[in-house]
Amino acid sequence: MTSRTLRHAAPVALLAAAALSIFTLPADAAPDRGAHHADSRQRVRQLASPLVFGHRGASGYRPEHTLASYELAIRLGADYIEPDLVSTKDGVLVARHENEISGTTDVADHPEFADRRTTKSIDGVQVTGWFTEDFTLAELKTLRAKERLPQVRPGNTRYDGRFEIPTLTEVLRLVRTWEKKLHTTIGVAPETKHPTYFDSIGLSLEEPLVATLDRFGLDRRKSPVVIQSFEVSNLQELDHLTDVPLVQLTGASGGPFDLSAQGTTYAQITSAEGLRKVARYADWIGPDKIQVLPRDVAGATGRPSDLVRDAHRAGVRVVVYTVRDENQFLPTNFRTGTDPNAKGDVRGEVESLLDAGIDGLFCDYADSCVDARDGWVE
Ligand code: G3P
Ligand code: CA
């Protein structure tokens, strides 16, 4: 049982959101931050705590890593939006979760690119498909995004074919535009994907990332930016390249690819001793939520692990991934009914994570996490 009490946020009037955006709000989404701030233009909102990170934008409602997805996350109240980054052939950073793009774009429907289909070893895994590093930005811009999980989120497929793959620059322009519209601060949490692999093909991610942030005045210690990586070496490199806070991502199993030869595991990294080492180069740890709230044999959460306590003792903040509303992604004690694609008690899960002392969380449905966070009182 939670030791905290809950309050309910006061209802916020929905104004004409269409005047602010070409994108519509989902019918079941919480009220629109844009509408709220249209009523209070002089207010400058401070970032809340714990922070809500719009995971791949508002990927519960829109095809992930599109400007439409990021914009919706902002309007739903996300404190930060999260572009995963890979490189094009001509060295431009674009927002995709993988460099292999058949799962989230219509590349397979483009006969002019049929001969680009190939098999590569990415982080020790054989992957077949089409890869961003084999396309110029101009070529990638002819593709359109599609929903990654059409069986789980069939409503999102109506947006298939509508949105381009955005560049990091376009994402930062979008953020700047919405900061002006809302008179607020919107954070950005770029994640470098497969940094060792991209180094190996001469398309290093770190330098263009820092240069792009610098162009937007976002390369400072207090910039509303955090840079994430599942690898260690590139975060240590970034610690010398930029003052921006860094997030060491970890998994519930395995270890960072760049340190696989020496057998380093995420379990070692998230030990009390490992966290003290993380604190030398990073400011946050980004564990799988299961590492904070382990599950029993029935898949239910119980007492938190020591991870948050140990991280805080080491001076490291904790942002967990990934909160998703659908039953299949929830611990069994927060599921509602038996349909794996139906929405469960995500608010209950978020409250448990907040009770465990986390400092932030990545959410596919930003509004669900904002709603739970803002209705939760320490
Ligand atoms: O970056 C936090 C979370 O996004 C990590 O998982 O695989 O969704 O990038 P992934
Ligand atoms: Ca990510």
Q: Is residue 172 part of a domain?
A: yes
Strand partners, 145: 105
> Any idea which ligand is nearest the CA of 319?
1
Pairing of strands 246-249, 227-229: parallel
Could you tell me if the CB of 54 is within 6 A of ligand 1?
no
Mean pLDDT value of segment 139-157: 98
Alpha carbon of residue 248 to chain centroid: 13
Burial of 73 from C-beta contacts in 10 A (0-12 / 13-18 / 19+): buried
Could you tell me if the CB of 228 is within 6 A of ligand 1?
yes
In this predicted structure, the answer to whether residue 63 has a pLDDT above a threshold of 90 is yes
Q: Which of 70, 98, 249 to mutate to test the pocket of ligand 1 (most atoms within 8 A of CB)?
A: 249
Share above pLDDT 90 across residues of the chain, in percent, rounded to a whole number: 86
Segment 123-134, tens digit of pLDDT: 999 999 999 999
Q: Is residue 126 part of a domain?
A: no
Mean pLDDT value of segment 247-271: 97
Confidence of residue 86 (pLDDT cuts 50, 70, 90): very high
pLDDT at 376: 79
What are the CA-CA distances from residue 113 to residues 46, 110, 126, 358 (Å)?
46, 6, 20, 44
Mean pLDDT value of segment 9-35: 42
Return phi, psi of residue 123, to 5°.
50, 40
**Residue nearest ligand 1's atom 3 by CA:** 321
Confidence of residue 48 (pLDDT cuts 50, 70, 90): confident
Of 18-22, 149-153, 306-310, give the lowest mean pLDDT range: 18-22
Q: Which of 70, 246, 319, 322 to mutate to test the pocket of ligand 1 (most atoms within 8 A of CB)?
A: 322
Tokens encoding 32: 């629109």
Confidence of residue 25 (pLDDT cuts 50, 70, 90): low
Note whether 69 and 62 are within 8 A (CB): yes
Distance (Å) from CA 3 to ligand 2 centroid? 31
pLDDT at 237: 98
pLDDT at 362: 98
Distance (Å) from CA 174 to ligand 1 centroid? 21
Q: Determine the atom of ligand 1 nearest the C-alpha atom of 286.
A: 2
> Any idea which ligand is nearest the CA of 286?
1
Q: Is residue 171 part of a domain?
A: yes
Distance (Å) from CA 230 to ligand 2 centroid? 9
> Any idea which ligand is nearest the CA of 362?
1
> Any idea which ligand is nearest the CA of 360?
1
Confidence of residue 102 (pLDDT cuts 50, 70, 90): very high
Could you tell me if the CB of 148 is within 6 A of ligand 1?
no
pLDDT at 44: 39
Q: Which of 80, 86, 97 to mutate to test the pocket of ligand 1 (most atoms within 8 A of CB)?
A: 97
Distance (Å) from CA 155 to ligand 1 centroid? 23
**Residue nearest ligand 1's atom 2 by CA:** 321
Q: What angle do CA 131, 159, 122 make, to 5 degrees?
A: 20
Strand partners, 5: 377
Of 36-50, 125-139, 185-199, give the lowest mean pLDDT range: 36-50
Q: Is residue 7 part of a domain?
A: no
Q: What is the tally of structural domains in the chain? A: 1
Q: What angle do CA 45, 22, 76 make, to 5 degrees?
A: 35
Return phi, psi of residue 290, to 5°.
-65, -25
Tokens encoding 362: 């990545």
Distance (Å) from CA 321 to ligand 1 centroid? 6
pLDDT at 151: 97
pLDDT at 183: 96
Q: Is residue 102 part of a domain?
A: no
Beta-carbon contacts of residue 315 (< 8 Å; ≥ 6 apart): 279
Mean pLDDT value of segment 119-146: 98
Q: Is the peptide bond before 224 cis (omega within 30 degrees of 0)?
A: no
Q: Is residue 135 part of a domain?
A: no
Could you tell me if the CB of 252 is within 6 A of ligand 1?
no
Could you tell me if the CB of 269 is within 6 A of ligand 1?
no
Q: Which domain range does residue 158 map to?
A: 12-97+153-375
Could you tell me if the CB of 192 is within 6 A of ligand 1?
no
Q: Is residue 138 part of a domain?
A: no
**Residue nearest ligand 1's atom 6 by CA:** 321
pLDDT at 32: 54
Q: Which of 51, 55, 70, 235 to mutate to test the pocket of ligand 1 (most atoms within 8 A of CB)?
A: 55
The CATH number given to whatever domain includes residue 238 is 3.20.20.190
> Any idea which ligand is nearest the CA of 284?
1
Which residue in 354, 334, 350 sits closest to 342, CA to CA? 334
Could you tell me if the CB of 249 is within 6 A of ligand 1?
yes
Q: Is the peptide bond before 136 cis (omega within 30 degrees of 0)?
A: no
Task: Report the distance separating Cα 372 and Cα 369, nearest Å.
Answer: 5
Mean pLDDT value of segment 207-229: 97
In this predicted structure, the answer to whether residue 338 has a pLDDT above a threshold of 70 is yes
Q: Is residue 232 part of a domain?
A: yes
Distance (Å) from CA 272 to ligand 1 centroid? 23
Share above pLDDT 70 across residues of the chain, in percent, rounded to a whole number: 87
Task: Report the distance separating Cα 265 and Cα 250, nearest Å.
Answer: 9
pLDDT at 49: 87
Mean pLDDT value of segment 320-341: 98
Confidence of residue 27 (pLDDT cuts 50, 70, 90): low
In this predicted structure, the answer to whether residue 196 has a pLDDT above a threshold of 70 is yes
